[in-house]
Amino acid sequence: MARIVQAVRAAIAPLTRTRVFRTVGPVVLPAAERALRIATGGRTQVSGLLVPSLTLHTVGARTGGFRASELMYTPDGQGSALVAGTNFARGRHPAWTHNLLAHPEAEITVRGRRYAVIAERIDTDPEAREAAWERIQQQWPGYRGYERDSGRQVRLFRLRLVRELE
């Protein structure tokens, strides 16, 4: 089964780097993710059909309001999740990265289970940054191309698990 998933990822990954996807994806995917999150109580995500996915719950950097963002993540092999602020290769950092910089205490929902996490920015250490990108690219080939195409350094975070919430 793992080989099938890898083959499907390898086939679909190039499509996610097209202009069409980068135009349509930011509009269609978040709405589809929200609808499926509500319908399944957070147990299923559209992106979760191909890659590990989570819902990141943050406090807004400017508003102080609660925000939810569906994200692909890569397990780091030590119980934490790596997330990259690619924003569909757009020139601006996604809002959730600003929120984590302002309020690193956050929560995630993975397959319907909620956890408290602490976000650590890892892209300030070149060695850790390279290791994170290598791990992410093993999961989703070519994903780092979003960084090149965006014209900015993508913010990378490690979400360290604190505890499971009820």
Entry pTM: 0.78
Chain segment 69-82, per-residue pLDDT in tens: 989 999 999 999 99
pLDDT of residue 19: 76
Per DSSP, what are the bridge partners of residue 106? 117
The correct CATH number of 2-164 out of 2.30.110.10, 3.30.470.30, 1.10.10.10, 3.30.450.20 is 2.30.110.10
Q: Given a cut of 80, is residue 135 above it in pLDDT? A: yes
Q: Compute the distance between CA of residue 1 and CA of residue 66 in angstroms, rounded to an integer.
A: 37
Chain segment 15-39, per-residue pLDDT in tens: 677 777 767 766 777 777 777 777 8
Domain boundary assignment for the chain: 2-164
Give 124's pLDDT tier (boundaries 50, 70, 90): confident
Chain segment 48-105, per-residue pLDDT in tens: 556 788 999 999 999 999 999 989 999 999 999 999 999 988 899 999 999 999 999 9
